[in-house]
Amino acid sequence: MNEELPLFPPIEPYRSGMLPVDARHTIYWEECGNPQGQPVLFLHGGPGAGLSPNHRRYFDPAHYRIVLFDQRGAGRATPLGEYRDNTTPLLVADIERLRTMLGIERWLVFGGSWGSTLALAYGQAHPQCCIGFVLRGIFLCTPAEIDWFMHGIRWFFPEVHEEFVRQIPQEERGDLLQAFARRLFGTDEEACLQAARAWGRYEGSCLHLLPQPDAVDAFATDTTSIGVGRLEAHYFLNAGFFSDDQLVRNAGRLRHLPAVIVQGRYDVVCPPLSAYRLHQAWPEAQFHMIADAGHAGMEPGIARALVAATEQFRRQGRFD
């Protein structure tokens, strides 16, 4: 392992493909590591952020059969940024379609940020298909969390928030989500792209405990910002397609399964209260609050804890 960045060395997929999931959407998927190894599913954040090569590196490639995919509208999935026929139940169904296609009976489920949201939704719908969970930067998609993202982050990043809302007229700033939605889902392509870039730069600027200009630039690229801006707005407008506090209320469906929750103490994007609430509902889960970290999975303390969690599952040898 690389001690400077506490991840396994870079690897390439041994198999990949495009999977049509309906008449509108096709998702990209890949497998890395050991084809006969313990299956693990990686769920990316956003929604809409897509995969990065570093996402393969939380897992020992000699032990794990690592499955990753770009969710509807994200990354290499097509069409990029497509919000129609894009709901949490449909994403859960896509995961099941992928699991069945790959001939996997049960797998470890790993997700951060929106990936933790989707992991919980999937696990609560299909607990019999899960070995356990590694969850990071918990997001429960409640109205309070959505309002925090749109308005509350300004208490910590006032200059970043001001940049975020600069293109929104003062009279529309009382409901920023609706203001951005009008631009992101309107017919003016340039206005959509400007709004998406502002959204991506805003989120990218708040991910880390210390400034990381490269992360800001990555989130502001057209591909990432279109996926993140449009799909996050879409899911926020629909409260993640969940009923009230659904993921906490249904946590009991998962309490018989092992889990590790990793949370940055200074996570401004997904504040620690959500992780704490989940742990209260799921006390059997291990809970690690990382004292010197923000939100990003590449924060050194968070990455170290995530690798430790996958190594813990490796040592336990949970194939059944």
Packing angle of the helix pair 222-237, 189-205 (nearest 10 deg) = 90
Chain centroid to Cα 205, Å, comes to: 17
Give the pLDDT score at 2.
Answer: 41
Q: Which residue among 44, 161, 267, 274 is the active-site one?
A: 267
Give the pLDDT score at 220.
Answer: 86
Contact 79, 9 (CB under 8 A): no
Contact 129, 96 (CB under 8 A): yes
Q: Which residues of 256-278 are buried (b: 16+ CB within 10 A; e: fewer)?
A: ebbbbbbbbebbbbbbbebbebb
**Tell me, what DSSP letter sits at residue 154?**
G
Q: Which residue among 113, 205, 225, 274 is the active-site one?
A: 113
Give the pLDDT score at 319.
Answer: 41
| Residue 204 clears pLDDT 90, i.e. is over it | yes
The secondary structure element, H or E, covering residue 286 is: strand 286-290
Q: How far is CA 178 from CA 146, 182, 236, in A?
A: 12, 6, 10
Q: How confident is the model at residue 4 (pLDDT cuts 50, 70, 90)?
A: low
| Residue 170 clears pLDDT 80, i.e. is over it | yes
CA angle centred on 268, ends 242 and 176, rounded to 5°:
60
Q: What is the mean pLDDT of the chain?
A: 96
Q: Which amino acid is at 138?
A: I
Contact 214, 182 (CB under 8 A): no
**Phi and psi at residue 221, in whole multiples of 5°?**
-65, 155
Cα separation, 305 vs 262, whole angstroms: 7
Q: Could you tell me how many helices (H) and strands (E) the chain has, helices first?
A: 11, 8
Cα separation, 175 vs 178, whole angstroms: 6
Q: Token digits for 244? A: 């009230």
What is the C-alpha R_g of the chain? 18
- How many residues are given for the chain? 320
Q: How confident is the model at residue 320 (pLDDT cuts 50, 70, 90)?
A: very low
β partners of residue 18 = 28
End-to-end Cα distance, the chain: 27
HSE of 3, CA atoms in CB hemisphere, 13 A? 0
- Is 113 an annotated catalytic residue? yes
* Closest C-alpha to 240, from 91, 130, 127: 91
Give the pLDDT score at 277.
Answer: 98
Helix extents (H) in 206-299: 213-220, 222-237, 246-249, 272-281
Encode pLDDT of 28-68 as tens digits.
999 999 999 999 999 999 999 999 999 999 999 999 999 99
* Closest C-alpha to 68, from 56, 80, 86, 81: 56
Contact 10, 36 (CB under 8 A): no
- Is 52 an annotated catalytic residue? no
Report, at the CATH architecture level, how domain 15-142+241-316 is classified: 3-Layer(aba) Sandwich (3.40)
- Is 295 an annotated catalytic residue? yes
Give the pLDDT score at 5.
Answer: 74
Map residue 35 onto helix, strand or coil.
coil
